[in-house]
Chain A
Amino acid sequence: MLFQKKNEQKRYSLPDNVLLKAEDLRVNIKIDGAVLNAVRGIDLELKSCETLGLVGESGCGKSVTSKEVIGINPSNCSSTGSILFKRKDGTVLNLLELERDGAEYRAIRGNEIAMIFQEPMTAFSPLYTIGNQMSEIILIHHPEATKKDAKEKIIEMMKLVGIANPEIRFDQYPHEFSGGMLQRALIAMMLSNEPDLLIADEPTTALDVTIQAQILDLMKRLQSELGMSILFITHDLGIVASMCQRVAVMYLGEIVEFGSVRQIFHNPKHPYTGNLLRSLPRIDSDREEKLYAIKGVVPVPVDLPEACGFHERCEQCMEGICDKRFPPVIEVEPGHFVRCALYGKSEG
Chain B
Amino acid sequence: MNKDNIVLEVRNLTKTYESGKTKVYALSDVSFTAREGETIGIVGESGCGKTTLGRCIVRGIEATSGEVILHKDGRQIDFLKATKSEMKELRPDIQMIFQDPYGSLDPRMTVYDIISEPLRYFGNSTKDEINRKVDAITEKVGLDKSFLRRYPHAFSGGQRQRIGIAKSLILNPKVVVCDEAVSALDVSIQAQIINLLEELQDELGLTYLFISHALAVVRHISDRIMVMYLGKVVEFGDTEDLFKNPMHPYTKALLSAAPIPDPDYKMERIILEGEVPTPVNPPKGCHFHPRCRYATEQCRNTYPPFEKRNGRYIACWNSGAMEAE
Contacts and interface: CB of A to CB of B under 8 A. Distances in A.
Interface residues of A, number: 46
Interface in A227-268: 235-242, 261-262, 265-266
Given A214-B271, A283-B258, A293 B192 contact: yes
A235 B256 CA distance: 20
Best-surrounded residue of A241, A291, A295 (most CB of chain B within 10 A):
A291
B262 A281 contact: no
Contact of B186 (A57, A210, A266, A290): A57
Contacts of B192: 293-295
A233 to B, nearest CB: 15
Given A214-B271, A281-B219, A283-B215, A57 B263 contact: no
A40 to B, nearest CB: 19
Interface hub of A237, A281, A292 (most chain B Cβ within 10 A): A281
B194 A291 contact: yes
A263 to B, nearest CB: 10
Interface residues of B, number: 44
Interface stretch (A8-16, A84-92, A272-280): A272-280
B187 A235 contact: yes
Interface in A202-224: 208-214, 216-217
Nearest to B156: A297
Given A58-B186, A208-B276, A209-B213, A283 B255 contact: yes
B198 A212 contact: no
A5 interface: no
Nearest to A234: B259
Interface in A27-59: 57-58
Contacts of A262: 263-264
B265 A291 contact: no
Given A283-B216, A293-B192, A210 B257 contact: yes
B258 A279 contact: no
Contacts of A292: 191
B272 interface: yes
B179 to A, nearest CB: 17
A284 interface: yes
B187 A238 contact: no
A61 to B, nearest CB: 14
Contacts of A180: 275
B178 to A, nearest CB: 14
Nearest to A289: B198
Given A208-B46, A213-B269, A239 B259 contact: yes
B271 A281 contact: no
Nearest to A245: B263
A6 interface: no
A18 interface: no
Given A208-B45, A297-B156, A277 B261 contact: yes
16 contacts: A208-B213, A209-B215, A213-B269, A214-B272, A217-B271, A235-B187, A241-B262, A242-B259, A277-B261, A279-B187, A281-B216, A282-B216, A287-B239, A293-B195, A294-B192, A298-B186
Interface of A: 57-58, 178, 180-181, 208-214, 216-217, 235-242, 261-262, 265-266, 275-277, 279-284, 287-288, 290-295, 297-298, 313
- Closest 5 CB pairs between A and B? A238-B259, A281-B220, A279-B191, A213-B257, A208-B45
